[in-house]
Each structure stands twice: as structure tokens, then as C-alpha cells.
Structure 1
Amino acid sequence: MDYKLVLDLIIAILLAATIASAAVLNNKLNQLRKNRDDLAKLVAAFNDATVRAEAGIPKLKRASEEASSTLIDRVEKAQSLRDDLAFMIERADAMANRLEGSVRTARGEAKPVPAPASSTAPLRGPSIRPAPASQPVPKVSVPPLTASRDDTLDDDRSEAERELLRALQAVR
């Protein structure tokens, strides 16, 4: 065989391989172009989402400030109620101590009842102790609250004291 023919065959095989690899490369470049368009759409959508999120930030700030002011108002009201309840508990403790003194006096126990603690002392419940089991418990008569009662006594009492007296009478 002629070496020119062999050389032409080798060149033809190499050209066929080049054409095949060019076709594969062309397909890959088309896929890259298509993916580039999809990537551009994805970047545009991400940009829109970022713009919307930035626009929502001031609204969130306003909502958080409103919630904060509402919470502050509620905390202030709760503190006011807490102070009122502390005062009522202190007054109820003093009344319970007076009631305990009256019960002891009615039983014949002449033990003096200590004065209520100062307002700086920690709040505690009333110190009413039950009577010993060996002694019978005498009945103590408490006059009922009526409209005909002397109003000057009611004026000296707070609303909480009057409610406590009504509750004690309801239990009786």
C-alpha cells in the first residue's frame, strides 16, 4: 500500500473523531447556554425576593414597636394591680390578726396579739391558728352587715375590708 493512502485514512479517522468531539462540545455549549438562562431567571427571582424582604423590614419594626408599647402598658397595669393586691393582703392580714384577737378574747385567752408588721416586711398569710382539740370552740356573734348599720364605721373601712366582711358572713 501506498503510504499516502494510509496517511489519508489516518487523517480521515482523525477528522471523524474531531467532528464527533465537536458535536459533543456543541451539545454541551447549548446546555450551558440554556442553564445560563435558567440561572439568570433564578437570580432575578432572588433579587425580587430580596427587594420584598427589604420593604417588609420597616413594617416589622413598626409592629415590634407597637407590641413593645402594648407590653409596657400591660406590665405597668400589672405592677399597679400587684401593688393593690399587696396592699389588700397587708390589710387582710391586719384584719385577720384583729379577728384572731377577738376570737382569743371571746375564748378567754388574754394573750395580746402583736401589731401588724411594717410595710417593709415581706408579705405573708394570716397567722390564725386553730383551737386545741381539747377545748370546745365557742360561737362568736358578728353582727350582720345591713344598710341600717352606722355608716361612719363603713366609711373608715376600705372597699377590700367591706368585701372581706361580706365574704366572712357568707361563709357563716
Structure 2
Amino acid sequence: MSWAELLLELAIIFLLALALPLVLRLERSLAAVRRDRAALESSAGNLTEATRLAEAASIRLRAAAEGGGRQLAERLAAAEPMRDDLRYLVERAEALADRLEALVRTARPLAQEAPPDPVPEAGRSQAERALLRALRAGR
């Protein structure tokens, strides 16, 4: 063997000795990457499952909201005629109350001047008795 071959082999041994710690560090890094890759793949699987569940829940929520909206619309449609009827009844009741109030005002002075009523209390209806009591209390 010549000196050149020996020198070349020593240079290769030296370079291999320098590369060995780098190779060991690279091997540890690759092992960590493999572990992280497995964790990442399982996380991706969990994320896919969570996404699927969220989509299913949003579909159920949308269906429930549409069903609730339909029920609300049906109830509103059924309540609208009742609202109109109640409005009509309130208007009539207000008009009757105004008329009754005017009659009571007109009757008060007459009730004070009028002689006692010949019809006994027992022969009157409950509404008549209540009206007479109210008129007498207003004197």
C-alpha cells in the first residue's frame, strides 16, 4: 500500500468518525418524526370524525329549526283570526262601556229624585241589584 492510499483511507475514516454523531442525531430525529406522524395521523382521524359528527349535528339542528318554524307559522296562522275576533270584541265592549257610562251619568240625578222603587229587591235579577247598589253608592 502506498502512502497515498493510506492517507486516503485515514481521511475516509476521519470523515466517517465525524459523520457518525450526525447520523445518530439524524436517526433520533427521524424516530421522533415517525412518532409524531403516527400521532398526527390519529389526530387527523379524530378531526375527520369530529367534522362528520358536527355536520350531522348541523343537519339535525337545521331540520329542527325548520320544523319549529313551520309549527310557529301554523300557530300564527291559527291565532290571527282569534286576534281579529278579540279586537272586534274589545271595540264593541268599549262602545258598550261608553254607552253604559253615559246612561249611568244620566240616571244618577234621576235616581236621587225618584221615589223608592215599588219592586222589592227579591224580585230583581242579580245584575239589577248590583246596578242599583252602584247607583246608590255613587250619590
Asked if these proteins are the same fold (TM beyond 0.5), I'd say yes
1:100 aligns with 2:108: yes
SS at match of 1:56: helix
Equivalent runs, 1:1-172 vs 2, <5 Å: 2-103=10-111, 106=113, 141-144=116-119, 163=127, 165-170=128-133
Partner Cα separation in structure 2 for residue 75 and residue 50 of structure 1: 36
Structure with max Cα Rg: 2
SS of match in other structure, 1:72: helix
Matching residue's letter, 2:95: F
Q: Check 1:83–1:72 CA distance in 2 against 1; reply closer, same or farther (3 A cut).
A: same
Q: Secondary structure at the match of 2:17?
A: helix
CA distance in 2 between counterparts of 1:143 and 1:10 reads 134
Deviations 1:121-143 (A, max 9, x none): xxxxxxxxxxxxxxxxxx85245
User: Aligned-pair distance for 1:146?
Assistant: 7.4
Stretches of structure 2 that go unaligned for 5 or more consecutive residues are 1-9
1:14 maps to amino acid: L
Q: Note the aligned Cα RMSD (angstroms).
A: 2.9
Who is 2:7 aligned against? none
Relative to its length, the structure with more helix (as a share) is 2
State the shift of 1:3 in Å.
4.1
Give the SS at the match of 1:41.
helix
State the alpha-carbon separation in 2 of the partners of residues 96 and 87 from structure 1.
14
Q: Could you list the runs of 5+ residues in structure 1 that have no partner in the other structure? A: 107-138, 150-161
The TM-score, its normalising length taken from structure 2, stands at 0.72
Distance 1:102 1:68 in 2: 50
Q: Which amino acid aligns with 1:169?
A: L
The CA distance in 2 between the partners of 1:145 and 1:101, in whole Å, is 21
Deviation at 1:32, TM superposition (A): 0.9
Q: Deviations over 1:141-172 (max 9, x none)?
A: 245477979xxxxxxxxxxxx93x33123566
Distance 2:14 2:120 in 1: 131
Compared CA separation, residues 143 and 52, structure 1 to 2 (3 A): farther
